[in-house]
Chain A
Amino acid sequence: MKNKIIMISTLLVCCLFTALGAKAQNSQNGIETSLKEKAYIGITGGFSPVFGNFSKAEYSDPKSGFASSGMNIGLTGVYFIKHHFGIAGLISYNGYGYHGAQSLADGYKEAFDLDSTTLYRKGNNRAFNILVGPYYSLPLSDRLHLDFSVLLGYTNAQLSGNELFLEDGVGNQFEQKPATASAFGYQAGAGLRYDLARHFGVGVQAAYFGAVPDFKIDNINRKNEAGRLLTRYHQPIQSLNLNLMLSYRL
């Protein structure tokens, strides 16, 4: 994962320096291509495929997070400090799906030597983020901008739980409670933004999101030491946010 972050960062820095070089050359030649960009706010939303252990769904692997791809929605704001450099803020919500419930139900059935089990999912896999960071907007034409950002900040995530009903006996269901934890979150990405009118614009973005929350998991009514039992989950949440954006320039 570190390699991916380094690659993305390097790419962003390269783009930034290339753009700066071109800009400096234009200034030296007396051609000032544009003034300070206008601040804007935007609503973003789109598809969020997940990666890594968080997306695995193997009963026997305690690293499995049983998360599947989901969607994200966010509110972003960018204020340009000088020319095309700015600072961006993002409040976003990533709601991931859940998969592999059958693997859990089958695994518990085998582990407790039962005829059948019924598993109910409890809660969602999700991440709520407040991120800020540097922003660079490279004008490709009067209306079209290529934007880059690296955002860092706070992530509060939830790992979904489950309740399992064992086939025989009375009241012998047990539950892995949904767990929440806060962690350092980061998101790096690029996007194209097009100004439709004086104030309104649309855009497409691709950003890599990550956080490594340390979930402490409560288990209810686990009387016997048998079957999959998680008391902690400390694996990276990684997803790609492929978004559309509606923007409003101030």
Chain B
Amino acid sequence: MKFIRKNIIGLAALGLALALWTSCNKDEQVVSPPLPGNEFMTTVKLIAVNANDPSDADTASWVDLDPAGSRQPDLSNAFLDLKANATYNVQLQFWDESKTPAEDITPEIKERANYHLICFTPQGGLNLTVNRTDHDGNNPPLPVGLQDNFVTGAASSGDLNVKLRHQPNVKDGTCDPGSTDADVDFQINIQ
């Protein structure tokens, strides 16, 4: 009888010790790894419409259907002709033309505007000022760049560098934080 009692007490003590031990949880780490076959952007479009003359409209396209390969981008339509001393409403579009039909990625970027920013850098003496006109849902709202005003100055020509910056949880309105999703140059002619 004494032996049975001792065993029962021992088992109960063991159970209690187990309870105490397992109630002290350890920290854990979980990684969500990259998925294979991510979509990519092949085409960046600038659609410019003169704010005072809607008939003055132009579209430029920068196309690279082989972003991972050695084929050079198609720059045959990567230029805009703009009038001097004018204001243009410009819309930026991103496409994946590797698919059939081609997929417009722009709505996805718009949906994720809180951590995306488009940066414009005129180069080579180009008399162009770019003002972003759309804003995201952050508090306070920060610019995005899918909708812009291009304000031209005197006649000039040069490149306009367009970068789509991916700034998850680091977007602060500047171009520096984050990484680059797209980096393309358009030739701009102001006449």
Contact = CB atoms under 8 A, between A and B. Distances in A.
Interface residues of B, number: 41
A226 B28 contact: no
Most chain B C-beta atoms within 10 Å of own C-beta, residue among A97, A102, A226? A226
B139 A172 contact: no
A71 B38 CA distance: 42
A243 to B, nearest CB: 8
Contacts of B170: 169, 171-172, 223-224
A98 B26 CA distance: 10
A3 to B, nearest CB: 29
Contacts of A118: 29-32
Given A124-B25, A202-B9, A224-B114, A112 B30 contact: no
A121 B169 contact: no
Contact of A122 (B11, B27, B38, B172): B27
A202 B168 CA distance: 57
Interface string B104-129: 00000000101100000000000000
A44 B122 CA distance: 73
A214 B169 CA distance: 27
B30 A102 contact: yes
Contacts of A244: 11-12, 15-16
Interface residues of A, number: 54
B25 to A, nearest CB: 5
B33 A45 contact: no
Interface in B1-48: 5, 8-9, 11-13, 15-20, 22-25, 27-34, 38
Contacts of A246: 9, 12-13, 16
Contacts, number: 143
A70 interface: yes
Interface string A13-45: 000000000000000000000000000000111
Contacts of A224: 114-115, 138, 167-171
A174 interface: yes
Nearest to A174: B169
Contact of A101 (B18, B20, B30, B114): B30
A209 interface: no
22 contacts: A44-B16, A70-B23, A98-B25, A101-B28, A112-B168, A113-B112, A119-B29, A119-B31, A120-B27, A168-B168, A169-B177, A169-B179, A197-B5, A200-B5, A202-B8, A222-B169, A223-B169, A224-B171, A225-B137, A244-B15, A246-B9, A246-B12
Give the top 9 A-B pairs by smallest Cβ distance, nearest first.
A95-B23, A45-B19, A105-B32, A45-B16, A112-B168, A101-B30, A71-B19, A115-B34, A168-B179
